[in-house]
Structure 1
Amino acid sequence: MSPRAVLLARFAAAIVVFSAHSASAAPGGTPELLSSLFANHMVLQRDTPIRLWGRAAPGAKVRVTLSRSAASTRADSHGNWTTALAPLSAGGPYRLEVESGGIHQTVEDVLIGDLWLCSGQSNMAMPVSETLGGASAITASRDSGLRLLKIERRVAAMPETRLAQPVRWQEAAPETSSDFAAACYFFGRKLRQARDVPVGLVSAAWGGTTVDAWRPQDALRATQDRLDELPLLEHYSRDPASAQKMWAERWQNWWRIAQNGTGPSDPWAPGSPPEMRWQRADIAMDWSQWHPGVDGANRLVFFRSTFDLPPADAKQVRKLTFGPVRFVDLAWINGQFIASTSDETRIRSYRVPDQAVTAGRNSVVIAVRSLTEGGGFASNAVLPTLTLADGRSLPLGRSWEVLAAPATLARSPLPPWDARGGISGPYNAMIAPLGKMSMAGVVWYQGEAETLPDRAPRYQDRLASLIAAWRKQFDDTELPFLIVQLPEYRLPSAVPGPSHWATVREAQRRIAGSMRNVLIVPAMGLGEANDIHPANKADLGVRLAAAVNLLATRKGAGPIHMPMSIGPSLTRIWHTQEGVRMRFSSDGPLRALSADMLTGFETCDVGGTHCRFVVGAVDAGDVILKGVHSPRIRYGWADHPIINLTDDTAIPAIGFDEVIAQ
């Protein structure tokens, strides 16, 4: 099929009906014909059909114009319409106009260029202002051809068809770039320098999120993941209070089973069994500051306070208010579950059921589950307070009893609607509303949350299903994905051993080796041993932009035998009489940095249980491990590997774990 025929086929395929978008009104009360995504100062994707959609009167004719391109369609019986304009080359600014039934809507200052979606967790969300060289980058950031859209953090139980917050596309400038995702911004800045076409960047990231948070429910079903949580999430979309009670019952049962009879009984129940060692602490302080402090991430702590009420007041208690807390809480009064929240930014305001409070002595217990170092009540938190029907408030003070759960019970379950450890919430609220927007590709920087024993082995399947699901949503089976491979972290190890960080990197590598238009962008060499959020995002942006050029060379080719990474990547490994020989794709000749030998290689038994370090050498364009005849070879297999194989890019070769075919 000729290139023109392919383009025409894509154009025809673009004109399809998809999810209806709710009707809304533009400022001033005029109904919006276009989806709110289409706003002033936006960038639309060049050289591909421009999909547009919105709302109009049922059956009404809709006419759309942009530059020299125009299209007409009719709204369906529900008032939803969709169409596509013929592809345009890079340029602008243009005016996008829509007319239907005497109603006109205009979107001003529209550019045609490259549109990229940047998503992931905290290393993607990290703003320019917190990076190495960020201050000078912000000062020099003014560029009318670089447009930014930051999607605010939000979760939803079911896929939504429009963004909850007003859409504000903004030109890059000191006042807009400071708080924008740094890796995404530096990537876009380099693209602008290299290509001189308009660039639009959409940032949709949330710190601490797992890959499951960004996968639609159908993708979870396809990989048979968390099937017991899906019905509860769907129930939550219809009846949040009822779903919370169901989840609280599951949580309480988890606690009882997890103890296996060795720990205290229900800490939320009234009374104080002898085996419970409650201590007194100031809840206004981060719990790491207590004496003795609660250290480490992923901790679970119970807070308890008792209070006395006369019969008249006991009948009037209506509300329990407190927070925010970091990050997830469950609250009980006299052992009765009240409510739960999994948002560290929200003040809790829980309705107290009738008869939950009795005359005389009562107890309030709040369990708080942290997801990072430190936790408990935020520094600006409202201390727990009961509100009575007559308007009076009963403060419960700041000196409470506390009980830290054993470290073995710290990773308590999270509700399926939790933003970080739940399922589909950020996807439903932040990605699904993007509809079938045409774009150049996706930059994905996520994986730190997967470096756990129960998650790392499944990351390859889960990330592959995310890529497939997003490509399905955006109606582009070859939508490019640039995957930032995790950098080094923690201190180097003197001996070989297991590494969940390396397992996640290997999952990323194998996806790039098996899926079209997926490319690894190594962050190795940019990491910091003592900080999971490395500050050098500028060099990462340069690497990401270089990956776009490499993707262009791969276009139309299969994943096998093609580079899967910028910098060297393994393409073949085999036994010879001399030892193990490896071939790498590379930009220029392979070489060792700072030594005449290559470090970071391991020779292992076939099961990968017993490994030892070996040195390698560059030999006739390959890498050879002389005298090695073992069945399995690893490279860079550690949280913080010491590796020195590179090429003319000076980017480290990506690690691998390969069993050699016999």
Structure 2
Amino acid sequence: MLLAIGAVADVRLARIFSDHAVLQQRKPVPVWGTAEPGEKVTVEFRGQKVSTVTGDDGEWRVTLKPMPAGGPFQMTVRGNNTIVLDDVLVGEVWICSGQSNMEWPVALSNNAEQEIAQANYPQIRLFMVPKAVSDRPLKDLNGGAWQTCTPETVRNFSAVGYFFARELHRTLKVPVGMIQSAWGGTPAESWTSKPTLMANPSLRYLLENWRRAEANYPQALENYQKQLAEWEKAAAQARAEGKPEPKKPDPPQNPRTNPWKPSGLFNAMIAPVVPYAIQGAIWYQGESNAGRAYEYRTLFPAMIQDWREAWAQGDFPFLFVQLANFMAVKPEPSESAWAELREAQTMTLALPKTGMAVAIDIGDANDIHPRNKQDVGKRLALNALAIAYGKKVVYSGPIYERMKREGNTIRLYFKHVDGGLTTPNGEPLKGFAIAGEDRRFVWAEARIEGNTVVVSSPQVSEPVAVRYAWADNPVCNLYNRAGLPASPFRTDDWPGVTQGRR
């Protein structure tokens, strides 16, 4: 980036614009920044020349007309000074966001060294949004720059983001830019704007609880100082007597800088990227909300609509990963918060232009961070090809549609049976449970009949409900012939373990 120094307040671009950037093809492209109030700013790119006058607030914005993919090009921004961005491409731009499974780097994924060594893609570009928390929406990021995808730059980048970008780039043969904005262990309310949380009566309490925590923090700090002084005395005495020291008290976390702060990450890590033109977003999150899965039925769609309103690009594609299998396998059918969170994710497909990558077969019982991020990226890319790009590809595994009771059996019907229902190597179906009016589930026999599954058990003569893969870590094996796994589901709506939980 070249900067010619001016005498007055320099024209500046928002940080999301830098050398090696990718701009979204075939959509209007906003370009914005700051300058002296009243200063004329002119942006030149690919034969377009657009000017504006900086507002009284020191902010300016122009919009480039839609362009086809291509590059590299130069962008020139002139005011009292001149900025030149080099090596700018036009192609497909996606946000990749969520918690640790989206943040999880290529370096810690399956086959990492080989994947890294082969990651020379001059037309894939990567931008990592710096981690930050804020009370109010920030105008700009505090760092970050676009980088060309190389073994050096891909190593610490989101594995899901990279493998998704690689699939799109290979298929669409255009530049792809990925903007990573993720933070491990964070809940969806941190990524949702304050007005959206305030507008929803069932979510407002999240902000109110946090306000209380902030008000109580000085007292908590004072209590900690007292505990620490007492501990220091006790520790000195223990050392003098040759005994082990007592456990040191933990300091309270400052609610103002805690990434769990509702709206805190939206304010600092999403708002400053808006309105950068994008094709869509991919999202891997939910583990931190599993204890409040029923609430997620409201929170998650609210967050998606929140982002769509912020960008003002209409219903851009929003594609997400359903929680993978994790934790110990249970011997009998039982309740599960993670199953309820997966159900909340599936329900969110009711929103337009949403897609879900099921990962119920590629998790790890002992690790909340499964290393197979390649298949996650591929399955998200299939959703993108179908939903964002209109390609005729099978992008979803079977999704439960309806049931019909037939004597002592229940017949299940599915969407997305493309090519037919199947199991790996034709093995018997696993993962189905059935219950009567007593709501006690037992493992069931299940068989594929055409595009339906028929479920029964000699223990349940009058069945009313079926569940499939309803567990933290289910043993399950229903697929379609495209090799995509069926989403876990239940036919009942009986109260779950997370209902009413806050």
TM-score by structure 2 length? 0.87
Shift of 1:595: 4.6
Shift of 1:566: 1.6
Which residue of 289, 298, 306 maps to 2:232? 306
Shift of 1:229: 6.2
Q: What residue number does 2:76 align with?
A: 97
Shift of 1:416: 4.1
1:449 aligns with 2:428: no
Whole-Å Cα distance in 1 between the matches of residues 45 and 249 of structure 2? 61
Q: What residue number does 1:150 align with?
A: 128
1:421 maps to amino acid: W
**Superposed counterparts of 1:454-493, under 5 Å:** 455-493=292-330
Q: What residue number does 1:213 align with?
A: 190
1:572 aligns with 2:405: no
Task: Classify 1:599/1:521 alpha carbon distance in 2 versus 1 (closer, same or farther; 3 Å).
Answer: same
Task: Classify 1:413/1:602 alpha carbon distance in 2 versus 1 (closer, same or farther; 3 Å).
Answer: farther
Secondary structure in structure 1 of the residue aligned to 2:142 = coil
Question: Does the Cα contact within 8 Å between 2:214 and 2:255 map onto a contact in 1?
Answer: no
Which residue of 511, 526, 550 maps to 2:386? 550
Whole-Å Cα distance in 2 between the matches of residues 73 and 141 of structure 1? 40
Q: What residue number does 2:164 align with?
A: 187
Q: How many pairs does the alignment contain?
A: 480
Shift of 1:428: 1.3
Shift of 1:45: 0.7
Q: What residue number does 1:202 align with?
A: 179
**Superposed counterparts of 1:271-282, under 5 Å:** none
Q: What residue number does 1:501 align with?
A: 338
Which residue of 369, 374, 394 maps to 1:538? 374
Shift of 1:423: 1.5
Question: Does the Cα contact within 8 Å between 1:57 and 1:75 map onto a contact in 2?
Answer: yes
**Superposed counterparts of 1:337-348, under 5 Å:** none
Shift of 1:224: 3.3
2:117 maps to amino acid: T
2:362 maps to amino acid: L
Question: Does the Cα contact within 8 Å between 2:284 and 2:320 map onto a contact in 1?
Answer: yes
Q: What residue number does 1:246 align with?
A: 216
Question: Does the Cα contact within 8 Å between 1:303 and 1:403 map onto a contact in 2?
Answer: no
TM-score by structure 1 length? 0.67
Which residue of 418, 421, 424 maps to 1:590? 421
Task: Classify 1:246/1:402 alpha carbon distance in 2 versus 1 (closer, same or farther; 3 Å).
Answer: same
Which residue of 348, 351, 373 maps to 1:511? 348
Which residue of 438, 443, 448 maps to 1:618? 448
Shift of 1:28: 7.0
Whole-Å Cα distance in 2 between the matches of residues 112 and 118 of structure 1? 18
Q: Quote the sequence identity (%).
A: 31
Any gaps of 5 or more consecutive residues in structure 2? 237-242, 494-502
**Superposed counterparts of 1:346-361, under 5 Å:** none
**Superposed counterparts of 1:63-74, under 5 Å:** 63-74=42-53
Secondary structure in structure 2 of the residue aligned to 1:106 = strand
User: 580-589 or 474-483, which moves further after superposition?
Assistant: 580-589
2:413 maps to amino acid: R
Q: What residue number does 1:634 align with?
A: 467
Question: Does the Cα contact within 8 Å between 1:61 and 1:72 map onto a contact in 2?
Answer: yes
Shift of 1:83: 2.1
Whole-Å Cα distance in 2 between the matches of residues 76 and 269 of structure 1? 52
Shift of 1:251: 9.3
Task: Classify 1:232/1:162 alpha carbon distance in 2 versus 1 (closer, same or farther; 3 Å).
Answer: farther
Instruction: Provide, for residues 429-477 of structure 1, a one-character-per-residue CA deviation record: whole Å limited to 9, x for no partner.
Output: 111111211111111001111222xx22211211111101111111133
Q: What residue number does 1:114 align with?
A: 92
1:42 maps to amino acid: A
Q: What residue number does 2:499 align with?
A: none
Secondary structure in structure 1 of the residue aligned to 2:430 = strand
1:428 maps to amino acid: N
Larger radius of gyration: 1
Instruction: Provide, for residues 239-260 of structure 1, a one-character-per-residue CA deviation record: whole Å limited to 9, x for no partner.
Output: xxxx8563354799xxxxxxxx
Task: Classify 1:130/1:553 alpha carbon distance in 2 versus 1 (closer, same or farther; 3 Å).
Answer: closer
1:112 maps to amino acid: V
Q: What residue number does 2:22 align with?
A: 43
Secondary structure in structure 1 of the residue aligned to 2:152 = helix
Instruction: Provide, for residues 319-354 of structure 1, a one-character-per-residue CA deviation record: whole Å limited to 9, x for no partner.
Output: xxxxxxxxxxxxxxxxxxxxxxxxxxxxxxxxxxxx
Question: Does the Cα contact within 8 Å between 1:419 and 1:426 map onto a contact in 2?
Answer: no
Whole-Å Cα distance in 2 between the matches of residues 214 and 94 of structure 1? 33
Shift of 1:306: 3.2
Task: Classify 1:532/1:303 alpha carbon distance in 2 versus 1 (closer, same or farther; 3 Å).
Answer: farther
Task: Classify 1:55/1:634 alpha carbon distance in 2 versus 1 (closer, same or farther; 3 Å).
Answer: same
Shift of 1:56: 2.9
Task: Classify 1:620/1:245 alpha carbon distance in 2 versus 1 (closer, same or farther; 3 Å).
Answer: closer
Structure number having the greater strand percentage: 1
Question: Does the Cα contact within 8 Å between 2:224 and 2:252 map onto a contact in 1?
Answer: no
2:328 maps to amino acid: L
Secondary structure in structure 1 of the residue aligned to 2:170 = helix
Whole-Å Cα distance in 2 between the matches of residues 650 and 232 of structure 1? 45
Task: Classify 1:36/1:626 alpha carbon distance in 2 versus 1 (closer, same or farther; 3 Å).
Answer: same
Structure number having the greater helix percentage: 2
Whole-Å Cα distance in 2 between the matches of residues 612 and 303 of structure 1? 56
Shift of 1:103: 2.7
Whole-Å Cα distance in 2 between the matches of residues 424 and 432 of structure 1? 10
Q: What residue number does 2:488 align with?
A: 655
1:168 aligns with 2:145: yes
Task: Classify 1:403/1:94 alpha carbon distance in 2 versus 1 (closer, same or farther; 3 Å).
Answer: closer
Instruction: Provide, for residues 591-620 of structure 1, a one-character-per-residue CA deviation record: whole Å limited to 9, x for no partner.
Output: 12245532211223569x521221221112
Shift of 1:637: 0.2
Secondary structure in structure 2 of the residue aligned to 1:497 = coil
1:209 maps to amino acid: T
Which residue of 387, 408, 426 maps to 2:265? 426
Instruction: Provide, for residues 464-497 of structure 1, a one-character-per-residue CA deviation record: whole Å limited to 9, x for no partner.
Output: 1110111111113311111101111112111011
Q: What residue number does 1:401 align with?
A: 246
Q: What residue number does 1:314 align with?
A: none
Question: Does the Cα contact within 8 Å between 1:50 and 1:438 map onto a contact in 2?
Answer: yes
Whole-Å Cα distance in 2 between the matches of residues 188 and 303 of structure 1? 53
Secondary structure in structure 1 of the residue aligned to 2:246 = strand
Whole-Å Cα distance in 2 between the matches of residues 159 and 637 of structure 1? 39
1:524 maps to amino acid: I
Secondary structure in structure 1 of the residue aligned to 2:344 = helix
Whole-Å Cα distance in 2 between the matches of residues 115 and 460 of structure 1? 28
Secondary structure in structure 2 of the residue aligned to 1:450 = helix
Question: Does the Cα contact within 8 Å between 2:420 and 2:450 map onto a contact in 1?
Answer: no
Q: What residue number does 1:283 align with?
A: none
Shift of 1:185: 0.7
1:528 aligns with 2:360: no
Whole-Å Cα distance in 1 between the matches of residues 466 and 98 of structure 2? 30
Whole-Å Cα distance in 1 between the matches of residues 333 and 108 of structure 2? 34
Shift of 1:304: 4.8
Task: Classify 1:222/1:574 alpha carbon distance in 2 versus 1 (closer, same or farther; 3 Å).
Answer: farther
Question: Does the Cα contact within 8 Å between 2:434 and 2:455 map onto a contact in 1?
Answer: no
Secondary structure in structure 1 of the residue aligned to 2:444 = strand
Whole-Å Cα distance in 2 between the matches of residues 640 and 128 of structure 1? 24
Shift of 1:658: 2.2
Shift of 1:649: 2.3
Any gaps of 5 or more consecutive residues in structure 1? 1-24, 236-242, 253-265, 271-301, 308-361, 365-397, 406-411, 556-562
Secondary structure in structure 1 of the residue aligned to 2:282 = strand
Question: Does the Cα contact within 8 Å between 2:4 and 2:82 map onto a contact in 1?
Answer: no
Shift of 1:131: 0.8
